[in-house]
Amino acid sequence: MRMLIAVFTLLFATLAAAADHDTPVGLWKTIDDKTKLARSHVRIVEVNGVLEGRIEKLLNRQPDDDPDNLCRACTGDRKDKPILGMKILWGLKHDDGVWEDGEILDPKNGKTYRCKMKIVDGGAKLDVRGFIGISLIGRTQTWVREE
């Protein structure tokens, strides 16, 4: 009987962990697609069925980074605000394995792009595509799950 309970407990824990990796919700390490350096940790959360993400930690400072970690190139409410804690992802909705119809901010240049993303490698990675107009005109970063 104890063995049966142990097997069911292990099976349930494994299924629960696998289910958690079917969604982008969690903490991700962003990897710059040009330099291949880890640049930040972004926490993605779901709010009323829509995903949004905020920068929780900055990594691998570069010489051209703002010395005060402010979004100097941003406009509007984000202008000269701290990058740490800034919402850079919003509006992503799930549709058949892809989260789309959202937007992503590049704090480096202050520009906002349309965005879609997809879980890859069994939930270990997230392909995040920022684009202008159609998805073909853009670039993809692969983020790595931290938790």
Select from 116, 109, 106, 108 the least CA-distant residue to 136.
Answer: 116
Mean pLDDT of the chain: 88
Share of the chain above pLDDT 70, in %: 86
- Give the single-character DSSP code of 82: B
Is the pLDDT assigned to residue 106 strictly greater than 50?
A: yes
Over residues 82-101, the pLDDT tens digits come to 999 999 999 999 999 999 99
Residue 73: exposure state from Cβ atoms within 10 A (0-12, 13-18, ≥19): middle
Is the pLDDT assigned to residue 9 strictly greater than 50?
A: no
Q: Scanning the structure block, which residue is given the tokens 């993605």?
A: 44
Domain boundaries, the chain: 24-145
91-119 mean pLDDT: 96
Is the pLDDT assigned to residue 131 strictly greater than 80?
A: yes
The pair of three-digit structure tokens given for residue 91, joined into one six-digit string: 């509006």
CA dihedral angle for residue 81, residue 55, residue 114, residue 23, rounded to 10 degrees? -160
Is the pLDDT assigned to residue 19 strictly greater than 90?
A: no
- Looking at per-residue pLDDT, the higher value among 124 and 6 belongs to 124
At 2 the pLDDT is: 53
Over residues 46-63, the pLDDT tens digits come to 999 999 999 999 999 999
Share of the chain above pLDDT 90, in %: 76
Q: Which CATH architecture has domain 24-145?
A: Beta Barrel (2.40)
Helix (H) or strand (E) holding 12: helix 2-20
Q: Are 104 and 117 in contact (CB under 8 A)?
A: no
Q: Are 82 and 101 in contact (CB under 8 A)?
A: no
The whole model's pTM is what? 0.83
